[in-house]
């Protein structure tokens, strides 16, 4: 049965600052037939493939400062918009958005594109989901760049995340531009508006509304909800993979001003990732650390010997 979905008009993406990447679309992912997924695909096909996966409520625009660094060094940059975000189709029923709806779509995308020699580049939900992908096909992945994210396993949420989840519930028509600018004061008004471009009105924001409910963490004194419990087993399996089976190279950058997924969360994640070196600490960066992404990408290439 086809999934009813909205498609953001193309003119919403015209003349976005710093965004001159050509759109690419795929609409025949197994299990998602009829839903159109957008991705950016730049650079030569014979280098390392830097697979960039965004989080909430962002889209591939988040990687506009990192992708040119990768391609200038002779590598391929692929940035995908998850369903409900960016230029990808947005299922109109909020209940469609579940942990495995998103994860299985990403797995299908990697398989359909036959991505190999992948450096996974993740932050926020890009990590909660993306960090579970290599265990399904470890031979495809050779490197990792990880920023301000985690692999929650059903723990109790801290005050910062509980406050964010409550705020999101109270604002079903989330002011995406306002949120991005508060979290990232270096953004211009036009850049903040670019983050909101995918969402002409509240009906397009189902994915934005649902992601906080899917985080595998429980409220203080309560049990996990069915939504937040769905990904726990997968996330714990991914922790085991990264600590025991990961054989690639890793690079970590931390936006030090992030109140939710800042230094404590990232140092815990580092303890899980086998042989992960000391992180790059970006003192002025907050949660959306990719806005400082140029120097981060340069440092990662330097560490990996890929410049």
Catalytically annotated residue among 38, 54, 75, 287? 287
> SS3 for 147-201, per residue?
ECCCCCCCCECCHHHHHHHHHHHHCCCCCHHHHHHHHCCCCCHHHHHHHHCCCCC
Is 258 labeled as catalytic in the residue annotation? yes
Distance CA 241, CA 239 (A): 5
- C-alpha distance across the termini of the chain, in Å: 47
Q: Any catalytic annotation for residue 287?
A: yes
Catalytic residue among 54, 75, 89, 258: 258
DSSP letter for 203, please: G
CA nearest 144: which of 135, 155, 152, 156? 135
Of 75, 89, 102, 124, catalytic? 124
**Catalytic: 94?**
no
Q: How many CB atoms lie within 10 A of CB 101?
A: 21
Contact (Cβ atoms closer than 8 angstroms) between residue 296 and residue 284? no
Active site residues: 124, 258, 287
């Amino acid at each position: 049965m086809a999934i009813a979905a909205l498609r953001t008009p193309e003119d919403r993406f015209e003349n976005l600052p710093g965004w001159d990447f050509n759109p690419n679309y795929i609409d025949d992912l197994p299990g998602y037939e009829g839903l159109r997924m957008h991705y950016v695909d730049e650079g030569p096909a014979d280098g390392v493939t830097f697979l960039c996966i965004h989080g909430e409520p962002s889209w591939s625009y988040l990687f506009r400062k990192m992708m040119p660094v990768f391609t200038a060094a002779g590598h391929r940059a692929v940035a995908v918009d998850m369903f409900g975000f960016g230029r990808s189709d947005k299922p109109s029923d909020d209940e469609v958005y579940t942990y495995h709806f998103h994860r299985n779509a990403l797995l299908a995308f990697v398989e359909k594109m036959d991505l190999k020699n992948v450096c996974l580049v993740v932050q926020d939900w890009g990590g909660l989901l993306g960090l579970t992908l290599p265990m399904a096909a470890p031979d495809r992945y050779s490197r990792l760049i990880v920023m301000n994210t985690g692999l929650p396993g059903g723990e109790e949420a801290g005050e910062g995340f509980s406050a964010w989840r409550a705020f999101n519930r109270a604002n079903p028509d989330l002011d995406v531009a306002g949120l991005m600018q508060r979290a990232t004061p270096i953004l211009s008004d036009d850049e903040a508006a670019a983050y909101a471009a995918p969402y002409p009105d509240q009906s397009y924001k189902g994915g934005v509304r649902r992601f906080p409910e899917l985080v595998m963490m429980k409220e203080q004194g309560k049990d996990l909800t069915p939504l937040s419990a769905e990904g726990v087993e997968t996330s714990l399996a991914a922790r085991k993979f990264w600590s025991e089976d990961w054989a690639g190279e890793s690079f970590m950058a931390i936006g030090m001003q992030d109140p939710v997924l800042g230094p404590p969360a990232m140092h815990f994640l580092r303890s899980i990732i086998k042989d992960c070196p000391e992180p790059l600490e970006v003192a002025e960066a907050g949660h959306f650390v990719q806005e400082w992404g140029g120097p981060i990408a340069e440092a990662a290439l330097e560490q990996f010997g890929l410049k």
